[in-house]
Chains A and B, each alone.
Chain A
């Protein structure tokens, strides 16, 4: 495989390093991804434009360009399409594109490179650009690896040329649990994803900014779980990020902020000793004063509650203020006496009562 020929440079986005065939598309991309107001979704034209819009219209400061690389997030820089990119960055980009020398001053954090390395993806140099169908990548790579000692990973810049087609919303394909599981099963896909992932670090900031799409909905709703749900869940719920070997194939670890046990948060909470103690007390008091259960005893101070709020002096619901059409509201006794005083006293009674909480 010879070295890649120098190609006429394509327009690229300074904020996320992504390349485009056409500057018009690049401008659209920037408006949609980087210059969109997160509050009203208005698309502005430049970073400063966005900043001024948010300040004036929503009284909010935007200190970073959304979805941008960490070192390209400056909101002050005025960039429109390819205009305004600092000459130095233009040169860097050019060099990286042609490059390939392991000058690798690209923006990839080391961790991501490591992942690539671990996945035995062949160095991009070895691959003829645009020729390898994605599903072949892995297989080919594996073959190569056999008579080739692992090389230090090459910098990413060449990768865009060998990218498999990417879905419209990258966030949608980033490690959905299903996708990850599938990817783990098919190693070559995993390899493809591992390559693909670091190419778009910008999307790591995308988080919930992706609008709902049908893309992955199909996956979520039509594809039946490929195994017992429990097994999947456990695989997909790493207790700690480093343990998630299965999902790291996609270079991103997902972590569900929910206890591992498949019970609702309420059930888990109900098991806590302090809640159990309260529950036991509640059940005991239910069992004893049977009188409480009788409807005729409505409203009487219950024996089980040491201090009840003061008796019906209250109910200061004024029918005048009610915009309810319910006739009941008008029957409410108006009492001007409903007051802070009562609130306070009932608050204190609550404090007393809750001592065994």
Chain B
């Protein structure tokens, strides 16, 4: 009987920017960090299998296939790491730091979103950029890709929806329904909509279909807040991840809390215990059997606390009760 949760050995030394499980696997996981490392873990063995060291902080990573991981970094570079041969190479660059990288299975390419207000598509065999897409003058803060659908959340609270079959222009541009800066956006596994979170402890569930019948189902809710005496502290919701099987999703906030929600029935399914510090990233494995939780302080307070907890990655094997719609 495996424990419901454990802490991964050899975590990154600085802010964990992303944790990602390998495709179709809950065994291998990659983590990128501001310490410049890309780490590759064997989760059940609780072992660090491989570590690539860069000079610049990494802002995101994504699996291309089980042995190839790409990263986007603060020095604007897109890198490819081969876990098997330990090779690393630079594929290309943006004008500004690359905030998000995603593998677009549909075209077998890599998508990168950057603070230079563009998303680029990369052909990884020829190692070149095959398309640059303007994001309406907004820095890319978060991005999600499933099959042909792309949603991009930008710094000016816009959401741009793209279709990989027709990339000459976005197919939809929306104002964020949240009043504050967008922190994270994720498509539903069924691609019918997306959830997004803001720095003001709020999460919106939105649908792509314009039909008023469908649009009526959209909603937003407050979370990741606590009240001490008369002060309500509202925390950014930094991370979202969908459970691909049950279509429920997890949110992680700067309050160190992870919640799992059923967005269709507007219910919270569970809340885990409080972690030492902010949840900076979350990722369900593709079968939903494991949830990786990256905890690291995000410098969100005006003054750095005296002791900043060491970054940590927790792996949790949630029960059906915690993740399944009731």
Q: With A278-B57, A282-B75, A314-B86 given, is the CB distance from A354 to B13 under 8 Å?
A: yes
When the two chains form their complex, are residues A293 and B266 in contact, meaning their CB atoms are under 8 A apart?
A: no
Q: Which residues of A contact B73 (CB under 8 A)?
A: 282
Chain B hits for A92, CB < 8 A: none
Q: Check B55–A256 contact: CB distance below 8 A.
A: no
Given contacts A328-B67, A354-B35, is CB(A265)–CB(B220) below 8 Å?
A: no
Residues of B within 8 A of A211 (CB): 221, 266-268
Q: Given A111-B230, A309-B86, A314-B86: A233 and B204 within 8 A (CB)?
A: no
Report A-chain residues with C-beta under 8 Å of the C-beta of B44: 321
- Per-residue interface assignment for chain A, residues 306 to 340, with 1 indicating a CB less than 8 Å from any chain B CB and 0 otherwise: 00110110111100011111101101110000100
Q: A299 is contacted by which of B67, B87, B203, B236 (Cβ under 8 Å)?
A: B87
A56 adjacent to chain B (CB < 8 Å): no
Task: Name the one of A233, A267, A350 contacting B51, with C-beta atoms under 8 angstroms.
Answer: A350
- Looking at the assembled complex, report how far the CB atom of A264 sits from the nearest CB atom of chain B, in whole angstroms: 6
| Residue-wise interface mask of A (333-357) relative to B, using a CB-CB cutoff of 8 A (1 in contact, 0 not) | 1000010000100110110011001
Chain A interface: which of B162-170, B240-248, B297-305? B297-305
Contact B234 A254 (CB under 8 A): yes
**Docked CA distance A274–B24 (Å):** 38
Bound complex: CA of A312 vs CA of B74, how far in Å? 27
Asked whether, in the complex, the Cβ of A212 is within 8 Å of the Cβ of B179, the reply is no
Contacts of A331 in B (CB 8 A): 84
Residue of A nearest to B90 (CB): A293
- Contact in complex: A275, B66 (CB < 8 Å): no
Shortest distance between the CB of A269 and any CB in chain B (Å)? 5
Q: How far is the CA of A229 from the CA of B175 in the complex (A)?
A: 12
Closest beta carbon of chain A to B254's beta carbon, Å:
6
Number of residue pairs spanning A and B whose beta carbons lie under 8 angstroms apart: 270
Which of A96-104, A129-137, A202-210 lies at the interface?
Answer: A202-210
Q: With A253-B232, A282-B75, A286-B77 in contact, do A233 and B141 touch (Cβ < 8 Å)? A: no
Q: Is A25 an interface residue (CB 8 A)?
A: no
Q: Mark B46-77, 1 if CB is under 8 A from A, else 0.
A: 01111111111101000001111000011101
> Within 8 Å CB of A206, what residues of B?
227
Residues of A within 8 A of B83 (CB): 315, 317
Output the nearest chain B residue to A254 by Cβ-Cβ distance.
B232
Contact A258 B300 (CB under 8 A): yes
Q: Decide if A217 touches B268 in the complex (CB within 8 Å).
A: no
> Which one of B35, B180, B220, B267 contacts A216 once the chains associate, using CB atoms below 8 Å?
B220
Residues of A within 8 A of B223 (CB): 208, 212
B311 lies within 8 A of chain A by Cβ: no
**Contacting residues, chain A, for B48 (C-beta < 8 A):** 343
Query: For B137, what are the chain A residues with a Cβ–Cβ distance below 8 Å?
Result: none
Binds B, one of A2-10, A14-22, A155-163, A174-182: A174-182
Chain B residues contacting A328 (CB-CB under 8 Å) are 65-68, 84
A207 touches B226 (CB 8 A): yes
Nearest chain B CB to A133's CB is how many angstroms away? 28
B286 to chain A, nearest CB (A): 10
- In whole angstroms, what is the CA distance A294 to B271 when docked? 48
Name the residue of chain B whose CB is nearest to the CB of A224: B175
The yes or no answer to B136 lying at the interface (CB within 8 A) is no
**B contact residues around A221 at 8 Å (CB):** 177, 204, 218-220
A268 at the interface (CB under 8 A from B): yes
Q: Which residue of the partner chain, among B57, B155, B199, B231, contacts A255 with CB atoms under 8 Å?
A: B231
Q: Is A172 interfacial (CB-CB < 8 Å)?
A: yes
Please indicate the chain A residues that have their CB under 8 angstroms from the CB of B266 in the complex.
211-214
Closest to A309 in B: B51
Contact at B181–A262, with CB atoms within 8 Å? yes
Chain B residue with Cβ nearest A293: B90
Complex contacts, A252 vs chain B, CB 8 Å? 227, 230-232
A25 CA to B226 CA, complexed, in Å: 28
List the B side residues contacting A270 at CB < 8 Å: 57, 74, 97
Contact with B along A270-285 (1 / 0, CB 8 A): 1010010011011101
**Does the CB pair A298–B204 fall under 8 Å?**
no
B189 at the interface (CB under 8 A from A): no
- Which residue of chain B has its CB nearest to the CB of A260? B302
- Interface contacts beyond A258-B199, A282-B55, A316-B49: sample of 9 additional A-B pairs, CB < 8 Å, sorted by A: A208-B226, A220-B204, A221-B220, A232-B179, A254-B233, A256-B201, A257-B235, A258-B235, A266-B99
A–B complex contacts, Cβ < 8 Å, 26 sampled: A39-B270, A40-B321, A204-B229, A208-B226, A212-B203, A212-B261, A216-B221, A225-B179, A229-B179, A252-B230, A254-B234, A255-B233, A258-B181, A258-B300, A278-B55, A282-B56, A299-B88, A314-B86, A315-B83, A321-B27, A321-B45, A322-B25, A322-B28, A328-B67, A328-B84, A329-B66
Footprint of A on B, CB under 8 Å? 10, 13-15, 17, 22-28, 34-37, 42, 44-45, 47-57, 59, 65-68, 73-75, 77, 82-90, 97, 99, 115, 127, 139, 141, 155, 157, 177-181, 183, 199-204, 218-227, 229-236, 238, 254-255, 257, 259, 261, 266-268, 270-271, 298-302, 321
Measured CB to CB, the residues of A under 8 A from B are: 38-40, 109, 111-112, 171-172, 174-178, 204-208, 210-214, 216-217, 220-221, 225, 229, 232-233, 239, 241, 251-259, 262-270, 272, 275, 278-279, 281-283, 285-286, 292-293, 295, 297-299, 302, 304-305, 308-309, 311-312, 314-317, 321-326, 328-329, 331-333, 338, 343, 346-347, 349-350, 353-354, 357
Closest A-B pairs by Cβ, 5 of them? A212-B221, A299-B87, A282-B55, A282-B56, A217-B219
